A and B are shown apart, each in its own frame.
Chain A
Amino acid sequence: MSWEVVIGLEVHCQINTKTKAFCGCSTEFGAEPNAQTCPVCLGMPGQLPVLNDEAARKTILTGLAINANINLESKFDRKNYFYPDLPKGYQISQFAVPIVEGGYIDIPTPNGEKRIGITRIHMEEDAGKSMHEGLDAVSHIDLNRSGIPLMEIVSEPDMRSADEAVAYLKQLHQIIKFLGVSDADMEKGQFRCDANISVRRKGEPFGTRTEMKNMNSFRFIKQAIEFEALRQIEILEDGGEVKQESRLWDSVKNESRSMRSKEEAHDYRYFPEPDLPPLRITQEEVDAIRAGMPELPNQMRKRFETEFGLSAYDADVLTQTQSLAQWYEALVAAHPANPKQCANWLANELLGRLKEQGKDITESPVSAKALASLLDKIADNTISGKIAKDVLDAMMESGKDADTIIEEKGLKQVSDTGVIDAMIQEVLDANPEQVEAYKGGQERLFGFFVGQVMKASKGKANPALVNQRLKKYLG
């Protein structure tokens, strides 16, 4: 019997509110340490939390997007532990009754779509940051992050490979970005993941799990899960037992190490937060939030396939981010004749060039309208597709529009049959042996003649016309 890895994921995602979860401090990233704090998020005596409604609204929106139930009454609890960057000595979280329960998302796998269950989403506040290095002999604490709203998204143990786990995370990440509920910048720690990993022989009950922490990129998550699954399999095959523990992923050494065992685990002494009454919302409020739901990636992909006739692959590429999808739709609106061609030019030509420059679509020096007018020039035979690529290069560089560049560089396509005929005659005259061979039956030489004519025209000759006229000459 072969081994099977079982994975459940906990994602901590920063909700992008302007102010913190329970006070009015700014959540802006990158301020001077402790500049964005107040008596509430510093845990000063007598200070009380007041819930930021926007955080709740965005968590509800996320819940609706993952097909979950919204609890019209949810509760806050205190999670108690001592740490210097946790000012109150407890974190306000939701334990017994979270705001969102029981959803799912569908992820692509090599065997088709797979449904991954989502147990719950609850709201909580972030802790501050302790800094132990590069300073003096003391530790420093930055509480700017203290009280920033998070949602913790807990999946069912439904994933069976590192690839599935990554597919789930990418899908979730994309949904969250589309909803606009989080900037989800992994480098800034706005989308963090812990993985519960166990292995078993197929068909057997779940094995003992370990919790892997500190994986801050999709690549590390894949590596960490694969490493951990192998580690557990080796232990079991050697007749050992997997210890239930938390492990830390070291992305430099490419290995995990034990952080704390089950025995050392904190007793968080959860109990209802007496400073916050239960969060009550009405079905009408939930419906209003649902009415404001943007189109989700899956829906958009399907629409791109049916509305624009795109392949599944192209539809997927163009819906990676909302801004890219919007860019594509703007392009099609400006050049409605050929959505497929729009997709090719955007996905292959423009994105390729942007990638070389390390830019994303929002930073493109060429606007959707400008690219559309370039595609217009191909469509009306002003230039060939090949020349158009050179024009695009020039547009990227100079920011000028296609017309100007075609004009300035004299790239306009030659469609005058007289001129083309003259060039054909020259080519045929210069290559009498090939003409003989062609006439003798070597028809594949036709391409050679087209190439020579195009070359003679410096690529400007209308290729369709060249084909047409050549056939006449070669009879």
Chain B
Amino acid sequence: MPFSTLTDIQAKLSAGETTAVQVAQTYLDRIAQYNDDLNAFVHIDPEHVLAQAEASDAYRAKHDARPLEGLPIAVKDIFCTQHGPTQCCSNILKGFEAPYDAHVITRLREAGAVLVGKTNMDEFAMGSSNETSAFGGCKNPWNTDCIPGGSSGGSAAAVAAALTPAALGTDTGGSIRQPASLTGIVGLKPTYGRVSRRGIIAFASSLDQAGPMTRTVKDAALLTSIMAGHDAGDATSVADAPSFDWLKACEAKDMKGLRIGKPKEYFIDGMNEEVRAQVEAALQKCQELGAEIVDISLPHTEYAVAAYYVIAPSEASTNLSRYDAVRFGHRCDNPEDLEDMYARSRDEGFGSEVKRRILTGTFALSSGYYDAYYLKAQQVRTLISQDFKAAFEQVDIIATPTSPVPAFKSGEKTDDPLTMYLSDIFTIAVNLAGLPGLSQPCGFAQDLPVGLQWIAPAWQEDKILAAASAYERATDWHTKTASAFAGKGGES
């Protein structure tokens, strides 16, 4: 049961072999047993979880089951939920309770999902290792000395250790795909504009996109099919986005005729050689499945990280201005005056990585520097989009490693932000171009999971789902589990 997929649980629920309450209880028990080891969840309200499960069972007794009926789904602490705290793993939002659900949360609830709890993350999603969380770092289930990746590290660890069959993450520069890769699960970042951002705490508005983190490609498709869709309350959510049957897209069994682009800029000196070997082997497998591998170039890739670390902090610096201690959130004791209240509240409330990005962004937007930084970065962004456009005239889809390295040790990079920023070197360009990207497990390096990243043209998640499903069918990487967390009832 624990390492089951959403699809497995769905089948058992509809066959009457189990109930939503039993399923919820199983995962609550596992959370009680393992969360202390991992710190994947930062908030759990078992009564509320069971109440939702009971309601779901009651609904099923009277009506046809909804698409996610009774399925437990954990939620990154960045999604506002009416029930319980939403803190973005930041002291500045300590104790904050949103009076609204994020649009995506509403969609999940209406589809019958049981929301399990809030998962750990880097503070305001700023980080690649989950170590900037104000509520303590999160551990990688494959090796608890290692980080699970970030910023959606809690969601990734929770799925990888089967504390939940699925979770929601958000991805601004790789925050779904990189932790998915480092914990051996599937993570999908949909096309920008596919999923509403309303009620998701903003990091960098032009890059943020929510997506699923699951054990299989099909589960990712199932969740995205519910999350996706126009929301009149988010002007950047696209009204008539091209759509398709998400589950049907996962039925592909081979890759006949598929032209896969292999960009040379994603297989570079300095990357982990085992990671390289695993991804090369995965491409070999694709070839066996009928795909043609085409060497391509995305020439502006090397500027992606620099452009991202101008654009994202710039947007963040103003997105985070609302945490001013006036209406909600942390306020310092006995402020002397307004200036003191702002300065001290924000100094106490934000962690050092968040401060670093606010300062970087404030600087980049300053009069006299704007053209050299923000404007230049936007120009790079355009060039990167054009790179992909040109590449997709040659190939149907692009495959790369998700991360240049497997999970690293906790504390290893915390003192060196620039090295830390390079963790996202292979995921950032996708956000800058607004494209869909998916990471799926494709082997191990140093006994730690390695991820294969798929990138498709905008709105063509179906191509990704088809290729990833075919690869998943032909391999068994997705069935590997972190043995330390097999625990009770541990049949997979």
A78 in contact (CB, < 8 A): yes
CB-CB nearest in chain A for B378: A272
Taking a contact as CB atoms closer than 8 A, the residue among B202, B232, B367 that contacts A50 in the complex is B232
Alpha-carbon distance between A400 and B238 when the two chains are bound, in angstroms: 63
A82 in contact (CB, < 8 A): yes
Q: Which residues of A contact B199 (CB under 8 A)?
A: 46-47
Interfacial residues of chain B within 176-212, with CB under 8 A of chain A in the complex: 197-202, 204-206
Alpha-carbon distance between A90 and B322 when the two chains are bound, in angstroms: 8
Binary flags per residue of B306-344, CB closer than 8 Å to A gives 1, else 0 = 000000001101101110101110000000001000100
Q: How far is the CB of A23 from chain B (nearest CB, A)?
A: 9
* B-side interface mostly: loop
CB-CB nearest in chain A for B208: A274
Take A44-B328, A48-B197, A80-B365 as given contacts and tell me if A87 and B322 are in contact as well, using a CB distance cutoff of 8 Å: yes
B374 in contact (CB, < 8 A): yes
A276 in contact (CB, < 8 A): yes
Which listed segment binds A: B33-41, B94-102, B288-296, B456-464?
A: B94-102
Q: How far is the CB of A292 from chain B (nearest CB, A)?
A: 26
* Contact in complex: B88, A82 (CB < 8 Å): no
Q: How far is the CB of A265 from chain B (nearest CB, A)?
A: 10
* Contact in complex: B198, A48 (CB < 8 Å): yes
Taking a contact as CB atoms closer than 8 A, the residue among A48, A50, A269, A274 that contacts B365 in the complex is A269
B362 in contact (CB, < 8 A): yes
A3 in contact (CB, < 8 A): no
Alpha-carbon distance between A44 and B328 when the two chains are bound, in angstroms: 8
* Contact in complex: A43, B206 (CB < 8 Å): no
B80 in contact (CB, < 8 A): yes
* Contact in complex: A90, B318 (CB < 8 Å): yes
Alpha-carbon distance between A225 and B304 when the two chains are bound, in angstroms: 52
Q: How far is the CB of A123 from chain B (nearest CB, A)?
A: 14
CB-CB nearest in chain A for B368: A267
Take A50-B235, A274-B315, A275-B235 as given contacts and tell me if A43 and B322 are in contact as well, using a CB distance cutoff of 8 Å: yes
Alpha-carbon distance between A255 and B86 when the two chains are bound, in angstroms: 51
B414 in contact (CB, < 8 A): no
Alpha-carbon distance between A35 and B4 when the two chains are bound, in angstroms: 49
Q: How far is the CB of A95 from chain B (nearest CB, A)?
A: 11
B233 in contact (CB, < 8 A): yes
B234 in contact (CB, < 8 A): yes
* Contact in complex: A46, B102 (CB < 8 Å): yes
* Contact in complex: B93, A45 (CB < 8 Å): yes
Q: How far is the CB of A260 from chain B (nearest CB, A)?
A: 15
Residue from the set B88, B96, B205 with the largest chain A CB neighbour count within 10 Å: B205
* Contact in complex: B201, A45 (CB < 8 Å): yes
Taking a contact as CB atoms closer than 8 A, the residue among A45, A48, A269 that contacts B366 in the complex is A269
Alpha-carbon distance between A389 and B197 when the two chains are bound, in angstroms: 69
Taking a contact as CB atoms closer than 8 A, the residue among A39, A84, A88, A270 that contacts B321 in the complex is A88
Query: How big is chain B's contact interface, by range?
Result: 35 or more
Alpha-carbon distance between A167 and B365 when the two chains are bound, in angstroms: 39
A352 in contact (CB, < 8 A): no
Alpha-carbon distance between A90 and B321 when the two chains are bound, in angstroms: 8
A354 in contact (CB, < 8 A): no
* Contact in complex: A89, B322 (CB < 8 Å): yes
A141 in contact (CB, < 8 A): yes
Alpha-carbon distance between A48 and B231 when the two chains are bound, in angstroms: 11
Take A78-B318, A269-B365 as given contacts and tell me if A49 and B235 are in contact as well, using a CB distance cutoff of 8 Å: yes
A271 in contact (CB, < 8 A): yes
CB-CB nearest in chain B for A84: B326
Interfacial residues of chain B within 23-65, with CB under 8 A of chain A in the complex: none
Taking a contact as CB atoms closer than 8 A, the residue among B80, B234, B342 that contacts A45 in the complex is B80
B370 in contact (CB, < 8 A): yes
* Contact in complex: B318, A46 (CB < 8 Å): no
Interfacial residues of chain B within 425-458, with CB under 8 A of chain A in the complex: none
Alpha-carbon distance between A50 and B233 when the two chains are bound, in angstroms: 6
Q: Which residues of A contact B100 (CB under 8 A)?
A: 39, 44
CB-CB nearest in chain A for B361: A269
B236 in contact (CB, < 8 A): yes
Alpha-carbon distance between A79 and B253 when the two chains are bound, in angstroms: 52
Binary flags per residue of B228-255, CB closer than 8 Å to A gives 1, else 0 = 0000111110000000000000000000
Q: Which residues of B contact A46 (CB under 8 A)?
A: 80, 98, 102, 197-202
* Contact in complex: B205, A45 (CB < 8 Å): no
Taking a contact as CB atoms closer than 8 A, the residue among A47, A269, A276 that contacts B318 in the complex is A269
* Contact in complex: B318, A80 (CB < 8 Å): yes
Binary flags per residue of B61-105, CB closer than 8 Å to A gives 1, else 0 = 000000000000000000010000010100001001011101000
Q: Which residues of B contact A465 (CB under 8 A)?
A: none
* Contact in complex: A141, B322 (CB < 8 Å): no
Q: How far is the CB of B260 from chain A (nearest CB, A)?
A: 32
Q: How far is the CB of B489 from chain A (nearest CB, A)?
A: 37
Binary flags per residue of A270-282, CB closer than 8 Å to B gives 1, else 0 = 1100111100000
Interfacial residues of chain A within 235-286, with CB under 8 A of chain B in the complex: 267, 269-271, 274-277
Q: How far is the CB of B125 from chain A (nearest CB, A)?
A: 12
Q: Which residues of B contact A84 (CB under 8 A)?
A: 324, 326, 338
Taking a contact as CB atoms closer than 8 A, the residue among A39, A42, A43, A269 that contacts B362 in the complex is A269
Q: Which residues of A contact B202 (CB under 8 A)?
A: 45-46, 275
Q: Which residues of B contact A39 (CB under 8 A)?
A: 99-100
Q: Which residues of B contact A49 (CB under 8 A)?
A: 235
Q: Which residues of B contact A78 (CB under 8 A)?
A: 318
A394 in contact (CB, < 8 A): no
A51 in contact (CB, < 8 A): yes
* Contact in complex: A87, B327 (CB < 8 Å): yes
Take A48-B233, A82-B324 as given contacts and tell me if A267 and B367 are in contact as well, using a CB distance cutoff of 8 Å: yes
Alpha-carbon distance between A78 and B366 when the two chains are bound, in angstroms: 13
Q: How far is the CB of A112 from chain B (nearest CB, A)?
A: 42
Q: Which residues of A contact B233 (CB under 8 A)?
A: 48, 50
CB-CB nearest in chain A for B86: A45
* Contact in complex: B374, A267 (CB < 8 Å): no
Binary flags per residue of A304-348, CB closer than 8 Å to B gives 1, else 0 = 000000000000000000000000000000000000000000000
Q: How far is the CB of B196 from chain A (nearest CB, A)?
A: 9
Given contacts A45-B322, A48-B198, list 17 more A-B pairs with CB under 8 A: A43-B322, A44-B98, A45-B80, A45-B201, A46-B200, A50-B233, A50-B234, A50-B235, A78-B318, A80-B365, A88-B322, A141-B326, A269-B362, A270-B365, A274-B204, A274-B315, A276-B235
Binding site for B on A (CB under 8 A): 39, 42-51, 78, 80, 82, 84, 87-90, 141, 267, 269-271, 274-277
Sample 12 A-B pairs with CB under 8 A, ordered by A number: A39-B99, A44-B327, A45-B93, A45-B98, A46-B102, A50-B232, A90-B318, A267-B366, A269-B365, A269-B367, A274-B236, A277-B235
Kindly list the 3 A-B residue pairs having the minimum CB-CB distance in the complex, ordered from nearest. Answer: A89-B321, A274-B205, A269-B365
